[in-house]
Chains A and B, each alone.
Chain A
Amino acid sequence: MGKKLLTEHINVPGIQGYEVYRKMGGYASVEKAIKSMKPEDVVEEVKKSGLRGRGGAGFPTGMKWSFLAKPEGVPRYLVCNADESEPGTFKDRYLMSRLPHLLIEGMITSSFALGANTSYIYVRGEYYYIIAILEKAIAEAYAAGWLGKNILGSGYDLDLYVQPGGGAYICGEETALLESLEGKRGNPRIKPPFPAIAGLYGCPTVVNNVETIAAVVPIVNQGGDAYAAVGIGKSTGTKLISASGHINKPGIYEIEMGITVEDFIYSDEYCGGILNGKKLKAVIAGGSSVPILPTDLILKTAAGEPRIMSYEGLADGGFAAGTMLGSGGFIVMDESVSIPKNLWNLIRFYHHESCGQCSPCREGTGWMEKILHKIVDGHGTLKDIDLLWELQAKIEGNTICPLGDAAAWPVASAIRHFRTEFEEYVKHGDKIKDVKYYFHTHNMDPAAAYSSL
């Protein structure tokens, strides 16, 4: 069994409530930080831990914290990003609904480290029941003296609020989140300035993912060095993986970074192999935005080494032959899945969620979706495949926020690794037109569809 730093006690009965959580050692990090450490010391431990942001980009958390501007007389904010909208990612939900006090403890310790006296948890609106869970836990924390004025007699004050979002993927982008939190339309801001300088209400702000903030608890409890000893290389600690798709045991796994992808998919400790004994076809390893990889490249790197579950391991080979750990949304597809249809589905999502401020994303996502629709409906041409390739290349890197990239990468990788499948759709267009309804109701491979005709 791998080491569990976050979810060790998740199955203890009553852990949702304050009493049990406290009995299991909860809030020790707050005690330790406030009573025996200076805020800078906490930042230092987080730096030593090598913790990287768990929201998707993997930016070193300690470094992000040390960038926070600290002008005199200006409040600073910590905002927790609990918008969790990346398709295939559902770990924050699990953490918040089962261990709400872990997040709150992390928020208090982190707010202390950053010198924030007001902090927010921005939760996606669809998680309405989690909002109630968090609010109950916050009330318990206030009652026990972990929140409010003069915490533990230290003179440190902190108020913590939960803010529901309105249900937009884009509000997970940190500056759109801040706009939304301010009560405005959730449009990503044009950077610079970055939130560390001018974030919420124009004040210095740190935005961190739920899992990142939760990880601060074991880091402070055990020390940064002990945390850094877990994991592999620059991918320290554990990572929650949301495993879904055609596997025997879908769910959330806390893994120690460094295990192999093969082990993760096939061992009984984790996914337990492919459903119904079928063959693995492809994996989207880090949430819907990251490049899809075919079986040979997800199990082994281009150099033939076993592929490792870590930031560097999954990225090995660059975009030509690798992918990203992203948010840890691990989507497994067996041989029955049609890649073009799956891609159409994903791009339909990005098209729908584009905020519409910048031209490449606003116009490009819709255009790509229409072409994909045309292809999977059997009306596509070979030129359409080339056009898709060119369009994604003209979106990537040219937009205000990374949603443009998030829409471009799946297209690029699907064409890069599964071009023949798109060509099949083009070649057998006539047949597909006949089985249109069939195709729309089943996620089926075209070859299988012809044989069933």
Chain B
Amino acid sequence: MAKVTIDGITIEVADGTTILNAARAIGKEVAPPTMCYYSKLKTSGGYCRTCLVEVSKGSEKDPRPMPKLVASCRTTVMDGMEVKNTTSPKVLEARKGVVEFLLANHPLDCPICDQAGECHLQDLSYEHGSAKTRYEFERRTFDKINIGEKIQLHMTRCILCYRCVKTAEQITDGRVHGVLNRGDVSEISTYIEQAIDNDFSGNVIDVCPVGALTDKTFRFKSRVWYTKPMDAHRNCENEKCSGKVVLWYKGEEVLRVTGRKDQWGEVEEFICNTCRFDKKKTSDWTIEGPREIDHSSVISANHYARTLVKPNEFKLNEVNPITE
């Protein structure tokens, strides 16, 4: 076991735990934002650099601070380590930089993007970015490629988190896409416009933090915040599929089916393409009840029973921007 202190809060975790997971174990207040790490995917993380933290004390044995900020998702804790996340001005500055870099070439086409409302880049920019960009050059574009019937690729929105590549590698039984080219012209591609199509390929939609991979069967049907999520399950024939999903309703109609995402925006269990794309009738499912969205996105603004702020923590001027 290792004792680690993050933003002044101490917790004991198993050896080999990453700083990020130790922070998540403490809670949302100290957990760094993540754009590429995904706890369900091996070797994920390290790319986006939004989770950078300052290690102000290396360990009990070697108390020297680490010379550079480190990616909390890929750095393991040491006994006696002290970490600064939101309490480090250096971290906040660097993170602001990362947001600016991620947005530099992003098309900001949120008004026509299906991901808007549940987009991690939107949340990240809102929480850590600045309102204005200083990038004044033409934004990067890519030739459109068709990757099949069910999944829509918008390469301009991609932040190269590598999650979809790792999903295809680890969850599906054959990866047919990857990253082509180098540097800022790197792109997600199938190289020869091959369709990404196998039992579990739809999961790349759920893991994508932005609107680069979206569900073609849901395309332009509704803004997500006008839909109502319901937990549901079915006895799926595919033994690798849990059959536990969220149905997104508009009126009586199921517009889309996704995996169930936890408070970190990660799916709890991966689901098969049949559940995702082909079962869009209420009669296909056993409904469990309304889905609680425990994420500070606009979706939760409209409906939900459980709010983010517990009553005893309620502070009027913090949650009510209108008074400002």
Interface hit among B7-15, B68-76, B262-270, B297-305:
B68-76
Contact A359 B134 (CB under 8 A): no
Which chain A residues numbered 344 to 381 have a C-beta less than 8 Å away from chain B? Answer: 351-360, 362-367, 370
A425 to B260, CA, bound (A): 56
Q: A354, B69: Cβ atoms under 8 Å?
A: no
Known A394-B94, A398-B97; judge A365-B183 contact (CB<8 A): yes
Residues of B within 8 A of A399 (CB): 49
Contact at A357–B160, with CB atoms within 8 Å?
Answer: yes
- Bound-complex Cα distance A352 to B181 (A): 11
Q: Which of B97, B102, B183 contacts A356 (CB 8 A)?
A: B183
Map CB proximity to A onto B63-94 as digits: 1 under 8 Å, 0 otherwise: 00000110100110000000000000000011
CB distance from B107 to the nearest CB of A (A): 14
- B68: chain A residues at CB < 8 Å are 397-398
Q: Check if B151 is an interface residue, CB within 8 A of chain A.
A: no
Task: Tell me whether B69 and A397 are in contact (CB under 8 A).
Answer: yes
- Number of residues on chain B facing chain A (CB within 8 A): 34
B315 within 8 A of A: no
Tell me, rounded to whole Å, the shortest Cβ–Cβ distance linking B71 to chain A: 7
Residues on A with C-beta less than 8 A from B101 are: 359-360, 362-364, 367, 394
Given known contacts A357-B160, A359-B101, A351 and B183 CB-to-CB distance under 8 angstroms: yes
Which residue among A168, A358, A363, A397 has the maximum number of chain B CB atoms within 10 Å of its CB?
A363
A357 to B, closest residue via Cβ:
B47
B252 within 8 A of A: no
A447 contacts partner chain B, Cβ-Cβ < 8 Å:
no
Within 8 Å of chain A (Cβ to Cβ): is B182? yes
Tell me how far the C-beta of A184 lies from the nearest C-beta in chain B, rounded to whole angstroms.
11
Contact of A358 among B47, B96, B181, B185 (CB under 8 A): B47
* Nearest A-chain residue to B184, judged by Cβ: A366
B48 and A362 form a contact (CB under 8 A): no
Check B52 for interface membership: any CB of A closer than 8 A: yes
CB <8 Å contact, A358 and B48: yes
> Which of B48, B71, B97, B184 lies at the interface centre, i.e. has the most chain A CB atoms within 10 A of its CB?
B184
CA–CA, A190 and B98, complex, Å: 18
Within 8 A of A (CB), among B79-134: 93-94, 96-98, 100-102, 104-105, 134
In angstroms, Cα B159 to Cα A190, docked, is: 18
B259 within 8 A of A: no
Q: Is A387 an interface residue (CB 8 A)?
A: yes
B109 to nearest A CB, angstroms?
18
Please measure, in the bound complex, the distance between the C-alpha atom of A358 and the C-alpha atom of B160, giving whole angstroms.
Answer: 8
- Distance in angstroms from B74 CB to nearest chain A CB is 5
Chain B residues with CB under 8 Å of A363's CB are 101-102, 104-105, 184
Contacts of A360 in B (CB 8 A): 49, 97-98, 101
Q: For the complex, what is the distance from the CA of A356 to the CA of B71, rounded to whole Å?
A: 17
Per-position binary interface string of chain A over residues 378-391, scored 1 when its CB falls under 8 Å from any chain B CB and 0 otherwise: 00000000010001
By the criterion CB–CB under 8 Å, are B49 and A358 in contact? yes
Collect the chain A residues with CB atoms within 8 Å of residue B134's CB.
387
Task: Determine whether the beta carbon of A190 is less than 8 Å from that of B74.
Answer: yes
Q: In the bound complex, how far is the Cα of B267 from the Cα of A254, in angstroms?
A: 59
- Is B135 an interface residue when CB atoms closer than 8 A count as contact? yes
By secondary structure, the A interface counts as: helix
List residues of B (20-65) whose CB comes within 8 Å of A's CBs: 45-49, 52
A84 to B74, alpha carbons, bound, how many Å?
29
- CB B188 to nearest CB in A, in angstroms, measures 11
B residues in contact with A197, CB < 8 Å: none
How long is the Cα–Cα vector from A363 to B135 in the complex, in angstroms?
11
Q: Which residue of A lies closest to B185 (CB)?
A: A356
Tell me if B137 and A398 are in contact (CB < 8 A).
Answer: no
In the complex, are the beta carbons of B183 and A352 less than 8 A apart? yes
* Distance to closest chain B CB from A347 (angstroms): 12
Pair A398/B184 contact, Cβ less than 8 Å: no
Nearest CB on A from B57, distance (A): 18
Question: Can you name the residue of chain A whose Cβ is closest to the Cβ of B104?
Answer: A363
Task: Report the Cα distance A190→B94, complex, angstroms.
Answer: 19
Q: In the complex, what's the smallest C-beta–C-beta distance from A139 to chain B, in angstroms?
A: 35
Residue B186 lies at the interface, judged by CB distance under 8 Å to chain A: yes
Q: Are A356 and B186 in contact (CB under 8 A)?
A: yes
Q: Is the CB of A356 within 8 A of B94?
A: no
A302 within 8 Å of B (CB atoms)? no
State which residues 93-111 of A face B: CB under 8 Å: none
Q: Are B94 and A398 in contact (CB under 8 A)?
A: yes
Are B184 and A365 in contact, with the CB atoms below 8 A?
yes
- Chain B residue contacts of A362, Cβ below 8 A: 101, 160, 183-184, 186
- In the complex, which residue of chain B has the Cβ closest to the Cβ of A405? B68
- How many angstroms from the CA of A370 to the CA of B104 in the assembled complex? 12
**Chain A residue at smallest Cβ distance from B134:** A387
Q: Which residues of B contact A275 (CB under 8 A)?
A: none
Residue from the list A168, A190, A387, A398 in contact with B46, Cβ < 8 A: A190
A400 CA / B137 CA spacing, docked (Å): 26
Q: Find A398's partner among B69, B74, B104 (CB 8 Å cutoff).
A: B69
CA distance A168 to B186 in the complex (A): 15
A contact residues around B45 at 8 Å (CB): 190
Cβ contacts A to B, 18 pairs, < 8 Å: A190-B45, A192-B74, A354-B182, A356-B160, A356-B186, A357-B47, A358-B49, A359-B49, A362-B160, A365-B184, A366-B105, A367-B135, A367-B137, A387-B134, A391-B97, A394-B93, A399-B49, A400-B47
Query: Which A residues are within 8 Å of any B CB, using their own CB?
Result: 168, 170, 185, 190, 192, 351-360, 362-367, 370, 387, 391, 393-395, 397-400
Which B residues lie at the A interface, using CB under 8 A? 45-49, 52, 68-69, 71, 74-75, 93-94, 96-98, 100-102, 104-105, 134-135, 137, 159-160, 162, 179, 181-186
Beyond the given pairs A354-B183, A364-B101, A366-B183, 8 more chain A to chain B contacts, judged by CB atoms under 8 angstroms and listed by A's residue number, are A190-B45, A356-B160, A357-B162, A358-B48, A362-B184, A367-B135, A370-B137, A400-B46
Complex A-B, nearest 4 residue pairs according to Cβ-Cβ distance, in ascending order: A394-B97, A190-B46, A356-B186, A363-B101
